[in-house]
């Protein structure tokens, strides 16, 4: 969007109750220089922990997403594990600097 990383794409989704909805998804452009093809938490957690942009830190975006999903009863286990790993990395960096 602001940085040209994402390709806004309309997608047809099927909800758990069987209803279909149209949703706007923001998909990372694989041609963008910041694209990371390895989505393994061990690969992306350090990137998320350190990344910042014009709208703030990538870690804060992840933590906000986790919090908003939880408020709506939509907890995602893999996202929560990733957030935990990013928090742990940030704690290690803070301790090393302090």
pLDDT tens-digit map of 28-74:
999 998 889 999 999 999 999 999 988 889 999 999 999 999 999 99
Q: What is the pLDDT of residue 98?
A: 66
Same domain, 72 and 28: no
**DSSP line for 62-73:** HHHHHHHHHHTT
> Whole-model pTM?
0.77
Domain carrying residue 89: 37-98
How does residue 2 score in pLDDT terms, banded at 50, 70 and 90?
Answer: low
Computed over every residue of the chain, the mean pLDDT equals 91
Same domain, 49 and 59: yes
Return d(Cα 96, Cα 92) in angstroms, integer.
6
> What's the domain count of the chain?
2
Q: Is the pLDDT of residue 95 over 80?
A: no
Same domain, 86 and 44: yes
Same domain, 19 and 50: no
Same domain, 60 and 87: yes
Q: Which of 57, 51, 45 is nearest to 88 (CA)?
A: 45
Same domain, 6 and 53: no
Same domain, 30 and 41: no
| Dihedral sign (CA 32, 8, 90, 97) | positive
């Amino acid at each position: 969007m602001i940085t040209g990383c994402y390709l806004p794409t309309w997608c047809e989704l099927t909800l758990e109750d069987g209803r279909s909805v149209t949703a706007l998804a923001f998909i990372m452009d694989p041609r963008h220089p910041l694209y990371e093809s390895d989505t393994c938490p061990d690969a992306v957690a350090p990137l998320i922990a350190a990344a910042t942009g014009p709208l703030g830190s990538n870690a804060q975006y992840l933590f906000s997403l986790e919090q908003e999903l939880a408020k709506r009863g939509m907890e995602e286990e893999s996202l929560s594990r990733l957030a935990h790993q990013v928090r742990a990395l940030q704690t290690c960096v803070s301790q090393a600097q302090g």
